[in-house]
Amino acid sequence: MVFIRMNDGTVVRSIEPKVSISSLAFSSDDAWAIAWTEDGDFLQINPTSGDIRPILLPPYSGLIADLAFSPSAPLLAVASLGGPVRLWDVETLQLSAEFELGGTHVEFSADGQLLAMATAEKIQVWRLGEGLLSEWDMDEPGVSDLEFMEGTILAVATWSGLQIWDAGSGEFIRQTPYVGLLPEGAEIL
């Protein structure tokens, strides 16, 4: 496994043994990461030291599709195909919450108060500790990623372009026909 600094391509650390990773999420300070391997194991990885230790979470019946860390609490969201989205306290390894929607993508807002989850056809946004904030069906299937932009504004990458939504109300704002990588500091207008 190789950790590369995206802004300049510098190799930060190469870790042996080689591990086949299916999903990976970094803590908000990038001090550590949690990975789900193709063998079905969760690992905590320190990118600086290269230390790897197993995390003993209960097995999942479906493939882990996505992982996301809360930027404000020690919480890990785990989306699995065919199963619920689960929220784990990574310090105690206790289940914090379970959401019925089985997801392919999960994402926390910058303040850690909102959790967005998606299947190919549906988006749900939860205000943690309070409940479901908004939910909508996608006009076309094919959600490939989620990203909170500012506040409750949620970018949803689909097969046909990038959709911008108000996650607080579930209101569609606009769509752009092309999705591509933006240089650091670029803004979507």
The predicted structure's pLDDT at residue 185 = 52
Grouping H, G, I as helix, E, B as strand and the rest as coil, residue 159 is coil
Type and span of the H or E element at 32: none
pLDDT along the chain (189 residues), means of 10: 65 67 84 85 85 82 86 91 88 90 89 93 93 91 87 89 92 79 51
The predicted structure's pLDDT at residue 178 = 62
d(CA 147, CA 184): 15
Q: pTM for the full model?
A: 0.82
Structure tokens at 137: 């069906």
Distances (CA, A) of 55 to 25, 37, 44, 89, 93: 14, 11, 6, 12, 8
Give the CA diameter of the chain.
Answer: 46
Structure tokens at 73: 């609490």
The predicted structure's pLDDT at residue 143 = 87
Unique residue bearing structure tokens 């970018």: 155
